């Protein structure tokens, strides 16, 4: 598996977000999303929070107290309900662009400030942390698009690296799945975000590679299903498993978000 270099994608992705938000009606801002009990406006507020947190790290500042992302997300979204959609959008326009510039300047092969926890990392290179950040910005924008019936953002320039990042959660997902050495599970993503990956049991752990190998189980889904599955949406009925279900079914438990 090769590094995923995504630093130059944040600025145009933020432009897509701002254009989307500026076109919403008052009722669309109130629309429910699949992100728990969050509305479209709550998801936009969360995206602003992620940009501001990243810029605070740039400034060498860590929030006081224990790191509890669920609590931090909840507190921020509740406070941001006092803000107008126009103000939220203006802030996202400014600080989203500023965060994009910062992420593009990072050395991708330096050590990340935080490991990618859903991949089981205790230490991650910056490129992986930045790619994880891209999946965060992309999938929340897509949740807004779904909630407001806007066209999906499946342009390959964004969607291919998003899927490529998500699948790197597979070795951690399979960490408790025992199998004989050489057992392989193949994931085929068709349509949007098309790609094939092979997960193989080697030396008492699972290793991921691009491409296809002889498989004990093959799991096939469209890209539209893959990102939803990896972000905790219930789409297992859209997935086809061929071969031994003991090795195919654990893939349905993959989570690539915090």
Mean pLDDT of the chain: 96
168-253 is a CATH 3.30.1050.10 domain: yes
CA R_g for the chain:
19
Q: What is the reported pLDDT for 230?
A: 98
For 40, the token pair is: 């479209």
Question: Does 116 score more than 90 pLDDT?
Answer: yes
- Name 210's bridge partners: 197
The CATH class of 7-153 is mainly alpha
- Smallest Cα–Cα separation from 227: which of 104, 134, 100? 134
44-74 per-position pLDDT tens digit? 999 999 999 999 999 999 888 888 888 999 9
Confirm whether 7-153 and 168-253 share one CATH topology. Answer: no
pLDDT exceeding 70 applies to what percent of the chain?
100
77-99 per-position pLDDT tens digit? 999 999 999 999 999 999 999 99
Q: Where are the domains of the chain?
A: 7-153, 168-253
Alpha-helix runs per DSSP H in the chain: 10-22, 26-29, 40-58, 69-80, 85-105, 126-147, 156-166, 170-173, 223-230, 245-248
Mean pLDDT of 94-119: 96
149-158 per-position pLDDT tens digit? 999 999 999 9
175-233 per-position pLDDT tens digit? 999 999 999 999 999 999 999 999 999 988 999 999 999 999 999 999 999 999 999 99
């Amino acid at each position: 598996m090769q590094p995923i270099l995504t630093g130059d994608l944040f600025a145009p992705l933020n432009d897509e977000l701002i254009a989307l938000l500026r076109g919403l009606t008052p009722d669309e801002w109130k629309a429910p999303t699949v992100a728990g009990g969050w509305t479209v406006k709550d998801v936009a507020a969360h995206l602003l929070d992620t940009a501001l947190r990243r810029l605070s790290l740039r400034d060498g500042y860590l929030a006081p107290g224990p790191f509890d992302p669920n609590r931090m997300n909840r507190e921020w979204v509740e406070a941001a309900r006092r803000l107008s959609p126009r103000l939220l959008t203006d802030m996202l326009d400014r600080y989203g662009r500023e965060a994009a510039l910062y992420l593009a300047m990072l050395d991708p092969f330096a050590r990340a400030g935080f490991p990618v926890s859903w991949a089981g990392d205790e230490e991650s290179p910056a490129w992986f942390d930045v790619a994880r950040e891209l999946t965060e910005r992309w999938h929340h924008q897509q949740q807004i698009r779904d909630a407001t019936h806007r066209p999906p953002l499946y342009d390959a320039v964004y969607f291919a690296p998003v899927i490529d990042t998500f699948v790197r959660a597979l070795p951690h997902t399979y960490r408790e799945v025992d199998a004989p050495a050489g057992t392989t599970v193949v994931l085929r993503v068709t349509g949007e975000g098309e790609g094939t990956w092979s997960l193989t049991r080697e030396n008492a752990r699972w290793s991921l590679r691009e491409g296809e190998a002889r498989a004990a189980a093959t799991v096939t889904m469209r890209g539209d299903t893959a990102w939803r599955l990896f972000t905790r949406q219930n789409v297992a009925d859209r997935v086809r498993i061929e071969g031994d279900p003991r090795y195919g079914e654990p893939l349905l438990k993959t989570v690539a978000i915090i």
